Amino acid sequence: MQHFIKTSDLDIPTIHKILEKANHYRDKTPEKILEDKTIITAFFENSTRTLSSFEIAAKNLGAKVIRLDVSKSSTSKGETIADTAANLNAMNPHAIIIRHKNAGAGEHLARHIDCPIINGGDGAHAHPTQALLDLLTIFNHFKGDIKGKKVGIVGDIKNSRVANSNIELLTRFGLDITLIAPPHFLPYTTLKTSHNLKESIKNLDILISLRTQTERHNYQIYGSLKDYAKDFCVTKDLIANQDIIILHPGPVHHNIDLDDEVLKDDRCKVLDQVNNGVLIRMAVIEHCVL
Ligand code: NCD
């Protein structure tokens, strides 16, 4: 059985197959290969893109999708995640897609469940399908020639599961990563780091901007988002005429992470990422379920 909790669960040949499959689904109406399958989405944390992306992906392949309505589930009555899992398991689903505010929730669930668990984001730990869709966006833009490409990740890296998953995955594919953030947003790392976006951006082929994860801060460790934006917002001025692509997983803090002009620029791939997200999740669900 193939769970997908973190990017390192998949080896490079398998990831290549998933990228190929995702691109194949872009060009071809998918067959309903999951017609006899039931997939549960259990999102214990808010989501717009990821939940709908997974549900569309599963339905595109013909699966029945049952959304656990968390606000009405017994978790709000104090049921443990293990008990919820055991009950869901007894309904014999073919996969459960989980998002949870606690790191390790997917791994924990996998111990109590007989079907594949796909992680839709756990705390600040991992968001593996986001990293895969980012990789697909980069891979297609550079027509597969990505080894050695210089990628910057800018934002609240320390608290970001997207950063964690991208660092693992993009490093394995030979990209050269620089983490760019104020000191309080940088994790301990052996990667290159910078506090200066204006200087660092000049050397980059790709910049991944991330939202400040205010929901994971116990207290405000910085002045204000406006102060942060002065040095770290990606602006039209900063990217000038540079040959660079800009990614962001959403939701975007407008004019804090990316300015509105950058969002309208062809080099900004945010909507391509959303489109690639459905395709990648189709390929991932197929890989885990069949
Ligand atoms: C990210 C997440 O939830 O981790 N968004 C997403 O999945 N599209 C990033 C974020 O919330 O900032």
Residues paired with 245 in a beta bridge: 206
- The residue to mutate among 50, 247, 281, having the most atoms of ligand 1 within 8 angstroms of its beta carbon, is 50
Range of 70's domain? 7-126+276-289
Q: Are residues 242 and 259 located together in one domain of the fold? A: yes
For residue 173, give Cα distances in angstroms to 3, 67, 135, 149: 21, 34, 9, 10
Ligand 1 binding pocket, CB closer than 6 Å = 49-50, 121, 127, 130, 161-162, 211, 249-250
What number does the ligand 1 atom closest to the CA of 99 have?
3
Q: Which residues contact 211 (CB under 8 A, 6 or more apart)?
A: 155, 156, 248, 249, 251, 252, 253, 257
Q: Are residues 132 and 96 located together in one domain of the fold? A: no
Q: Are residues 158 and 201 located together in one domain of the fold? A: yes
pLDDT of the residue at 167: 98
Q: Are residues 280 and 261 located together in one domain of the fold? A: no
**Closest C-alpha to ligand 1, atom 1:** 249
State the total domains in the chain.
2
pLDDT of the residue at 284: 98
Q: Are residues 13 and 35 located together in one domain of the fold? A: yes
CA of 249 to the centre of ligand 1 (A): 6
Q: Which 3 state secondary structure label does DSSP give 35?
A: coil
Q: Are residues 49 and 115 located together in one domain of the fold? A: yes
Q: Are residues 73 and 163 located together in one domain of the fold? A: no
pLDDT of the residue at 69: 79
C-alpha–C-alpha distance, residues 246 and 207, integer Å: 5
pLDDT of the residue at 218: 77
Contact in structure between 100 and 82 (CB atoms under 8 Å): no
What number does the ligand 1 atom closest to the CA of 162 have?
4
pLDDT of the residue at 131: 99
Do the domain assignments include residue 2?
no
Residue 108: which CATH number?
3.40.50.1370
Do the domain assignments include residue 1?
no
Q: What is the dihedral of CA 114, 120, 126, 129, to 10 degrees?
A: 100
Query: Which sign does the torsion angle of CA 49, 54, 57, 63 carry?
Result: negative
Q: Which 3 state secondary structure label does DSSP give 272?
A: helix
Q: Are residues 48 and 156 located together in one domain of the fold? A: no
Q: Are residues 133 and 258 located together in one domain of the fold? A: yes
Q: Are residues 119 and 150 located together in one domain of the fold? A: no
Stretches where the chain sits below pLDDT 50 are none
Q: Are residues 82 and 162 located together in one domain of the fold? A: no
- Residue 226, φ and ψ in degrees, nearest 5: -65, -40
What number does the ligand 1 atom closest to the CA of 45 have?
3
- The residue to mutate among 49, 129, 130, having the most atoms of ligand 1 within 8 angstroms of its beta carbon, is 130
CA of 90 to the centre of ligand 1 (A): 30
Q: Are residues 94 and 115 located together in one domain of the fold? A: yes
For 86-98, what is each residue's pLDDT tens digit? 888 899 999 999 9
